[in-house]
């Protein structure tokens, strides 16, 4: 098993280029199932999760060509005939469920192993299935499988009890080729939803309102092939913003969309970091003065992203004063708090609230375990400023979602290396 060895590194300096967004690329690749034509997806990050999605598409009968020199994936869906996704693949990635809506729309049936819980919570799929049922699908759960079938999907009003990102995406994809109009109310508003809608519209779909809480989809008889470049990854952007701040460095973050990281920007500024919107990207400086405590509460977009909660908590362990962190999106997303406390942070967790005492308790290197993707990134950031050496294990979580993480951090002066155990 590989691990990262991270040494106290001093301020990070230089420039870093952000990759395409994993969470946009995954549903967009799933959406290629909706057509028998060829689709070309550009700026795809080279990540384990993307590899799993490509394997899923191939298992369904698609021809998938991965051009990693150009970061382009071409999907020829003419041969898609299989409607099942086995547990072997689903257990590697929950986002496998994204092909449910497209398979139903394309083949009239889908049988997908039910994803289990994970380190951050139960993560049910009831909103996905409820939405697809509203569009006329029959959905049965048995023996660990979600079996869905439909003669014709029919447009309908779908109200989501919570603005789930994945459910909004699954329903939007299925509704694109349903008979009639679908309205999704209390829809998720994340930029990845807008990117998926923009790809679907290039394929011939008629979607309006993506990025607001009400999305209207006028079903069309069929979709055609399209070419699309995915948006830059806002969570990777946020992670490097925090990396600059936590090390009291000065980093220019290129290929990012500042509008997508406003809440992270606002909280960094509250802490005393400087964030400048330059022509080439965002410059984040943690070297302009003392950093101080702030409180954060995660919320669906445009609120503070749950995926940035762990990296930001690492920063809060290094500032002056006590901060509170409230996690409202996932019920169990504080596993990194215990690991940060093993590095000396002394974070107190009570349900969905955490109290972070700040720099009264300076971090020291330790052996820590990455429990999920963003928790892993948080531990690496903490390791950059902890006294001594930090060993981060279970880094496969991190490699699911950060492209060339070690190389990008090293390019900024971080002392980090990947070693095989
Ligand atoms: C996506 C992101 C993930 C991010 C999350 C929230 C991808 C591949 N992943 O995950 O990185 O952390 O959005 O921003 O895009 N829920 C239900 N029933 C459902 C679906 C969700 O109760 O059917 C609950 C979940 O348990 C969770 C909350 O809704 O508590 C948010 O989940 P959701 O927005 O669906 O997240 P994902 O799409 O899984």
Catalytic site residue from 39, 118, 256, 271: 118
Helix (H) or strand (E) holding 341: helix 335-342
Q: Which of 320, 363, 357, 323 is nearest to 339 (CA)?
A: 363
Distance, CA of 32 to CA of 38 (rounded, Å): 8
Pocket mutation for ligand 1, best pick of 164, 187, 373 (most atoms within 8 Å of C-beta): 164
Whether 107 and 241 map to the same domain: the answer is: no
Burial of 344 (0-12, 13-18, 19+ CB in 10 A): middle
Give the residue from 183, 200, 229 where a domain finishes. Answer: 229
Whether 263 and 348 map to the same domain: the answer is: yes
Helix (H) or strand (E) holding 356: strand 353-356
Instruction: Tokens for 144, please give them.
Output: 């660990």
Closest residue by Cα to atom 33, ligand 1, is 164
Please report which residue ranges of 207-298 form alpha helices under DSSP H: 234-246, 262-271
Whether 237 and 335 map to the same domain: the answer is: yes
The whole-number pLDDT of residue 94 equals 87
Q: Measured between alpha carbons, how far is residue 323 from residues 290, 296, 312, 318, 352 in Å?
A: 15, 8, 11, 11, 14
Q: Quick check: CB of 121 below 6 Å from ligand 1?
A: yes
Distance, CA of 34 to CA of 37 (rounded, Å): 9
Q: Quick check: CB of 330 below 6 Å from ligand 1?
A: yes
Please report which residue ranges of 142-188 form alpha helices under DSSP H: 165-175
Whether 195 and 333 map to the same domain: the answer is: no
Domain count, the chain: 2
The whole-number pLDDT of residue 331 equals 86
The whole-number pLDDT of residue 122 equals 67
Whether 31 and 9 map to the same domain: the answer is: no
Q: Quick check: CB of 278 below 6 Å from ligand 1?
A: no
Question: Tens place of pLDDT for every residue, the chain, 421 residues?
Answer: 899 999 999 999 999 999 999 999 999 999 999 999 999 999 999 999 999 999 999 999 999 999 999 999 999 999 999 999 988 999 888 899 999 999 999 999 999 998 765 666 667 899 999 999 999 999 998 888 899 999 999 999 999 999 999 999 999 999 999 999 999 999 999 999 999 999 999 999 999 999 999 999 999 999 999 999 999 999 999 999 999 999 999 999 999 999 999 999 999 999 999 999 999 999 999 998 899 999 999 999 999 999 999 999 999 999 999 999 999 999 889 999 999 999 999 999 999 999 999 988 889 999 999 999 999 999 999 999 999 999 999 999 999 999 999 999 999 999 999 999 7
The whole-number pLDDT of residue 332 equals 84
**Dihedral sign (CA 34, 36, 37, 42):** positive
Distance, CA of 350 to CA of 352 (rounded, Å): 6
Pocket mutation for ligand 1, best pick of 234, 329, 373 (most atoms within 8 Å of C-beta): 329
Q: Quick check: CB of 112 below 6 Å from ligand 1?
A: no
Q: Which residues pair with residue 294 across a beta bridge?
A: none
Distance, CA of 353 to CA of 332 (rounded, Å): 10
The whole-number pLDDT of residue 118 equals 61
Pocket mutation for ligand 1, best pick of 45, 115, 123, 169 (most atoms within 8 Å of C-beta): 123
Q: Which of 239, 262, 227, 192 is nearest to 37 (CA)?
A: 227
Whether 199 and 84 map to the same domain: the answer is: yes
Instruction: Tokens for 85, please give them.
Output: 């996704």
* Owning domain of residue 132: 23-229
Instruction: Tokens for 253, please give them.
Output: 């973050």
Count Cβ atoms below 10 Å from residue 67 Cβ, excluding itself.
12
Whether 263 and 154 map to the same domain: the answer is: no
Whether 208 and 314 map to the same domain: the answer is: no
**Dihedral sign (CA 114, 120, 124, 127):** negative
Check residue 106 and give left, alpha or beta (phi > 0: left; psi -120 to 50: alpha).
Answer: alpha
Closest residue by Cα to atom 13, ligand 1, is 165
Closest residue by Cα to atom 15, ligand 1, is 23
**How far does the centroid of ligand 1 lie from the alpha carbon of residue 123, in Å?**
7
Closest residue by Cα to atom 29, ligand 1, is 164
Distance, CA of 336 to CA of 339 (rounded, Å): 5
| N- to C-terminal Cα separation, the chain | 5
Whether 318 and 374 map to the same domain: the answer is: yes
C-alpha neighbours within 13 Å on the C-beta side of residue 58: 12
CATH of the domain at 319: 3.65.10.10
The total number of residues written for the chain in this structure: 421
**Dihedral sign (CA 93, 226, 176, 208):** positive
The whole-number pLDDT of residue 278 equals 95
Closest residue by Cα to atom 34, ligand 1, is 164
Q: Quick check: CB of 238 below 6 Å from ligand 1?
A: no
The whole-number pLDDT of residue 117 equals 56
Q: Quick check: CB of 329 below 6 Å from ligand 1?
A: yes
Whether 121 and 185 map to the same domain: the answer is: yes
Give the residue from 212, 229, 246 where a domain finishes. Answer: 229
Burial of 133 (0-12, 13-18, 19+ CB in 10 A): middle
Give the residue from 211, 229, 247 where a domain finishes. Answer: 229
Whether 102 and 151 map to the same domain: the answer is: yes
Instruction: Tokens for 344, please give them.
Output: 């000396």
Q: Is 256 considered catalytic here?
A: no
Whether 115 and 180 map to the same domain: the answer is: yes
Q: Quick check: CB of 115 below 6 Å from ligand 1?
A: no
């Amino acid at each position: 098993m590989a691990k990262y060895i991270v040494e106290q590194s001093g301020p990070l300096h230089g420039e870093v280029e952000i990759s395409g967004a994993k969470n946009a690329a995954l549903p967009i690749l799933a959406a290629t199932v909706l057509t028998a034509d060829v689709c070309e997806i550009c700026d795809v990050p080279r990540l384990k999760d993307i590899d799993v999605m490509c394997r899923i598409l191939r298992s369904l009968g698609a021809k998938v060509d991965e051009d990693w020199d150009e970061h382009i994936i071409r999907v020829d869906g003419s041969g898609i005939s299989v409607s099942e996704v086995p547990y072997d693949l689903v257990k590697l990635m929950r986002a496998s469920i994204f092909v449910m809506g497209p398979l139903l729309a394309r083949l009239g049936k889908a049988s997908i192993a039910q994803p289990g819980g994970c380190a951050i919570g139960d993560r049910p799929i009831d909103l996905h299935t409820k939405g697809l049922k509203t569009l006329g699908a029959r959905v049965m759960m048995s023996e660990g499988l979600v079996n869905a079938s439909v003669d014709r999907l029919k447009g309908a009003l779908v109200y989501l009890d919570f603005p789930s990102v994945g459910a909004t995406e699954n329903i939007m994809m299925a509704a694109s080729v349903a008979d009639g109009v679908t309205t999704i109310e209390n829809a998720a508003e994340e930029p990845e939803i807008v990117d998926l809608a923009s790809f679907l519209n290039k394929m011939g779909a008629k979607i309006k309102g993506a990025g607001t809480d009400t999305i209207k989809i006028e079903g069309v008889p069929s979709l055609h092939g399209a070419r699309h470049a995915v948006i830059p990854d806002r969570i990777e952007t946020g992670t490097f913003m925090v990396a600059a701040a936590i090390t009291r460095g000065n980093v220019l973050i290129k290929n990012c969309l500042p509008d997508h990281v406003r809440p992270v920007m606002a909280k960094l500024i509250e802490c005393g970091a400087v964030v400048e919107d330059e022509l080439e990207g965002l410059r984040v400086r943690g070297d302009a003065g003392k950093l101080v405590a702030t409180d954060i509460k995660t919320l669906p977009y445009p609120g503070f992203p749950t995926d940035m909660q762990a990296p930001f908590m690492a920063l809060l362990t290094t500032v002056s004063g006590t901060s509170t962190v409230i996690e409202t999106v996932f019920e169990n997303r504080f596993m990194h708090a215990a690991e940060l406390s093993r590095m000396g942070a002394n974070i107190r967790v009570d349900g969905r609230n955490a109290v972070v005492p700040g720099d009264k308790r300076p971090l020291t290197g330790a052996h820590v375990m990455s429990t999920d993707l963003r928790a892993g990134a948080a531990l690496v950031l903490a390791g950059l400023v902890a006294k001594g050496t930090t060993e981060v294990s279970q880094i496969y979580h991190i490699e699911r979602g950060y492209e060339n993480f070690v190389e990008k951090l090293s390019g900024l002066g971080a002392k980090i290396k990947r070693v095989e155990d």
